[in-house]
Amino acid sequence: MPGVITQAKATQRSRSSQPGRPGQPAHGQPGQPAHGRPAHGRPEPGRRDFLTTLGAAAATFALGVPARATAHARDAATAAEYVDVQLLDITDLHGYLQGAPGSNSVIVGNGGRSYTVGGVAYMAAHLERLRDGHPNSLFFTPGDAFSGWEFDAAAFADEPTIEALNRMGLDFATAGNHEFDKSPAMLRRHMEQGVPFPVEGRDTSFTDSSGLRFHGADFRYYSANLVRGGGGATVLPPYNIERVLTADGRELPIGFIHLTAVGSELFPGSYQPGLATLDEVATADHYAALLKSQGVNAIVLSLHDGAVAGTDFNSGADPSGPALDLALRVSPDIDAIVTGHWHTRFNMMVPDPDGVPRPFVEAGCYGQVINEINLRLDPLTGRVVRELTVSTNHPNTRDVAPHPELQEVVTYWAGQAAARDRTPLGRQSGSFLRARNTAGESTMGNLAADWALWAGGRPTDPENDANVHPNVPAQLAVVAAAPRVGQAVVAGDLVLDPASGGTITFGSAWRAIGFGDPIVSAWVSGQRIHDALEEQWTTTESGELRFAPLAVSRNVRYTFDARGPVGDRVHPEEVLVDGVPLDLGRRYRLAAPSYTLLANDGYPSLSAFEEPYRHQRDFESFVAYVRETGVLAPQPRDRVTAANAAGAGADVGVVVDPPVLLLPDGTPVPRPEAAIISADRPRAARGGGRPPC
């Protein structure tokens, strides 16, 4: 049965025009408003006072300082003279229906005041309050709504997140990078349209809290700059046009342009070899001009890219980041810029290329904040009267009664997740442990490498529709058991439980391997494979020898010299693939996590791969491996031999496991987020900001 919130939004959604179609060629403080461009064709209240104020401030206007309208202009702008439009947005929910754990549930506002926030049941209550009295209200997200890190949602193909967003009346969404953590087909056909794949009720298409099978989103996804190949057709519609009502019942259009973070196709989680992202500014300018040519005079940019701008969630100071660079350059026809991706919180005005301020906002992550932008449109021209724009970031506090309908959704999926966690998946005949021998081998590492080889040899999946190269079965596999940098895809042990007959549950398999990245198979030269094996050893500034062992699949054997110098410890003739010495001059089909092939864990030689083919994501892939294998049996730790490991001059090296990243309160950072932060930390340090997720 449709919920109260969904019913309240139904009339607004019915006023939406048909969006642009996929497949098109690519061509302040609370309540503080912005100065702006006049609405042409009508007298503007307080215009003289406004111009005087703007002229005096122009020379000293600073980024991050919200502009102010004159009191006269504000007082004269009544609802009878202008059309009020409310924009509500959240970003980077990442499936946190219950709210994020630990310090991620606390945000800081003006004067250092802290707020406990998060949870869709509380969000729904706040949305209901904010919408009251706003007939022209639109609710959207700049991306990363799903493909997240809360087990309650992730274990059910993120369908619980879509159900919650449907119930809250989301009108439309920008596709973020994480919306492509599986495939474009998964987003379009399953998340939007509800088509089950591969197996209904087991992998997707679960029964929701209303007792019905998952039917897909009641909203659409958009992206103007994510295209097929190097400049082909858009994967999703590039923009949408919403209609709002004037006092006399006429409709005025508002256009929304959507951008996905540049490089999303190369991020380890959303790695999609057949996709590309176009320049954000050029794309936004193109569609702004297109919308203007269609008579759309109010335009909003929804951007899945971000910035940093201080710690107060409802203001902005010293901003920096790619979204700011865009905000200063993108077409002055765009009236507001709503961002995401960086998991930061700010609310400010920045000047467009003509020097006229416009809102520039980000609403944090995990349901921490609801951003509200109130626009006033000239009823004759449909233009935004910029000096009357007001933007506020509202904390999604838990000091209100949770909305009963959304609380029911949250409670239902928490119960389903607990049951799924206990569901038998397979069996094991012994324990798989991360404990290593002298040569760096572990039974858990060997299991991971064997799984990667299996995953890299799976049949072609028609739903993985962003591949452009043939699916050639992998000949060998490597997995970073204790990587030089970043995080290990091997997350835990699989300890034998004799009392259960060695049962492996869904939850234990899910927690043992994975952080949300796919297995990728690709051609890699024998020379590069050899070089990667050599890269297991490095010397620190203090002279200590470090060892970052790579686990290899069951058909690989190699020996290293524990007395050899760094860079000359592995002789190619002592590396055997299917019993044959490694040929430095030929290519091998190698399977590994995308994280490894993209050099996020410290083996740069493997990044020189060719003709990649993306396979299933690690969580789901390992679950499928356990299910298909039936009984997992620990293999002998005899794949790697440490020669000359005893006596004078021997030094295998010190293995340093990746640190467990913690939030300020000591709560572990979710594994997918930890992997991203760890890999991107050097770049973030250079840029002075937080790694985007």
Kindly report, residue by residue over 558-585, the tens digit of the pLDDT: 999 999 999 999 999 999 999 999 999 9
Q: Is the pLDDT of residue 49 over 80?
A: no
Q: Which helix (H) or strand (E) holds 618?
A: helix 618-629
Architecture of the CATH domain 4-413: 4-Layer Sandwich (3.60)
Spatial contact of 19 and 222, defined as CB atoms under 8 Å apart? yes
Alpha-carbon distance values, 530 to 216, 485, 563, 569 (Å): 47, 19, 18, 10
Q: Is the pLDDT of residue 683 over 80?
A: no
In 3-state terms, the chain is what percent helix, strand and coil (to 5)? 30, 25, 45
Condensed to tens digits (0 to 9), the pLDDT of residues 304-331 reads: 999 999 999 999 999 999 999 999 999 9
Condensed to tens digits (0 to 9), the pLDDT of residues 538-560 reads: 999 999 999 999 999 999 999 99
Q: Which tokens go with 532?
A: 């990667």
411 vs 61, more confident? 411
CA 611 to chain centre: 25
Least confident span in 52-56, 352-356, 382-386, 644-648 = 52-56
pLDDT value at residue 50:
26
Q: Is the pLDDT of residue 22 over 90?
A: no
Q: Which helix (H) or strand (E) holds 545?
A: strand 545-547
> What are the structural domain ranges in the chain?
4-413, 423-658
pTM summary value = 0.90
Condensed to tens digits (0 to 9), the pLDDT of residues 446-467 reads: 999 999 999 999 998 888 899 9
692 vs 638, more confident? 638
Architecture of the CATH domain 423-658: Alpha-Beta Complex (3.90)
Condensed to tens digits (0 to 9), the pLDDT of residues 378-424 reads: 999 999 999 999 999 999 999 999 999 999 999 999 999 999 999 99
Q: Which tokens go with 364?
A: 């944090």
Spatial contact of 137 and 10, defined as CB atoms under 8 Å apart? no
Spatial contact of 77 and 50, defined as CB atoms under 8 Å apart? no
pLDDT value at residue 658:
85
556-594 residues labelled b (16+ CB within 10 A) or e (exposed):
bbbbbbbbbeeeebbbeeebebeeeebbeeebbbbbbbb
* Rounded Cα gap, residues 424 and 496, in angstroms: 14
pLDDT band at 659 (very low <50, low <70, confident <90, very high): confident
Tell me what the pLDDT averaged over the chain comes to. 89
